């Protein structure tokens, strides 16, 4: 007997602001930018892609293309989508990359 499984869809589990925030935060830290784009797409799907498209002034199909793996959306577009999703970017200090220029002491 062969066991079959339903396809996994992250959008099915993004049912709270906390889950969405954590999901996007982890995805944003991945060095592959496609991971973050896919995560934004999952959240848009969970929140309702048609409503997000309307809120950003874009067509639904255009939004799907913008958030697909391999796309190179403009910062303004990502910012508008995140705003429509009810989330925002936050910049925090992190570990410097090895070999990076350090700030001189004050």
Token couple for 90 = 């936050």
Kindly state the average pLDDT of the residues 80-101: 84
pLDDT by residue (tens digit) across 10-61? 999 999 999 999 999 999 999 999 999 999 999 999 999 999 999 999 999 9
- Which helix (H) or strand (E) element contains residue 60? helix 60-66
CB 52 within 8 A of CB 63: yes
Nearest to 36 by CA among 64, 69, 62: 69
Average pLDDT of the chain to the nearest whole number = 90
What's the pLDDT score for residue 23?
97
- pLDDT (mean) for 61-79: 93
Taking only Cα atoms into account, the Rg of the chain, rounded to an integer number of angstroms, comes to: 17
């Amino acid at each position: 007997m062969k066991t079959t499984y339903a396809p996994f869809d992250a959008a099915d589990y993004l049912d709270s602001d906390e889950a969405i925030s954590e999901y996007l935060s982890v995805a944003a830290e991945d060095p592959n930018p496609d991971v973050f784009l896919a995560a934004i797409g999952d959240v848009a799907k969970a929140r309702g892609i048609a409503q997000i498209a309307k809120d950003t002034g874009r067509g639904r199909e255009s939004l799907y293309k913008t958030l697909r793996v391999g796309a190179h959306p403009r910062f303004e577009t990502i910012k508008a989508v995140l705003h429509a999703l009810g989330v925002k970017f936050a910049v925090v200090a992190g570990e410097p990359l090895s070999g990076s220029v350090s700030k001189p002491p004050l």
